[in-house]
A and B are shown apart, each in its own frame.
Chain A
Amino acid sequence: MMPFLEVKDMRKQYGAIKAVDGVSMKVGPGEIVGVIGPNGSGKTTLFNSILGQIQPTSGNVEFCGENITGMSPLELSRRGVGRTFQTLQVFVKLSVRDNLIAAAQEFKGTLGSRLFAKNDAGLGGHADEMIELFRLKHVAKLPAGSLSYGQQKLIDIAMAFMPAPRLVLLDEPCAGVNPSLVDQLRELLVELNKTQGGSFVVIEHNMDFIMKLCPHVICMVEGKVMAEGPPAEVQANRQVLEAYLGN
């Protein structure tokens, strides 16, 4: 079966520093793949190279058989590729509901037709469903910037799923999130994977979260793939343990 996303020999070099050094990976349709590794191992650089945020030094990215290497984030979003960022990226002055509508409205109609469209671009119902799913109903009308970090993180993630993307790359979704919310977040991602049917690639440092969520895990160390496979196998890999804990 043709992979949904295929990264071939991706390299990104900053002077003498090889941030990503020949990484290849495959993601199947509907699959959830976890990417782990110590700080500075090149995970976010790999994401940014795949997603057109930075230009890779060499290598190829194919999405549904199409070469998408170096495409802009705008072009990728139109092909159904979504993402979240390592840091919070919400529209702080917009309400929670408007954040969600803003996340999907550009996929409805044309630029010209949106000028004459209803205020919610016909997405109000879907936004309310996501608000319900992410348990944000009590703050739906408040500006996103006025909420707690954890709540903004939930908005951030909900926004990525609003347009029902075919592929979502999540960069540290648990970072800064209250431990009591982590399980809720995992359940939400499982639910979205079932209902929307997209493929997810998740970077995360929370091992418990990633081991429970992802049937396939890739471990990166110093820009290279050190190990990959089922979570238990990767967790037991001696090289992986050394990379995390030292000799």
Chain B
Amino acid sequence: MQADTYPGLVDGFVLDEADAVSAEAVSALGLTPLVTQTVMRNLNDKQALAEAVLRFSDELSSR
């Protein structure tokens, strides 16, 4: 079966601080990385990640 997945779909890739070492490799794929805390243990974490993702998306829009 074909397995071409989704080339060109994703512009920005959000990865956790624990995976920061991969940011450069993500960038090499043509995706803009954002390293932030992504584990959502409580409502504050959920809101913080949502705000970070929206800011990141805005930044990508303005490029």
Are A and B genuine complex partners?
A: no
Interface residues of B (CB under 8 A from A): none
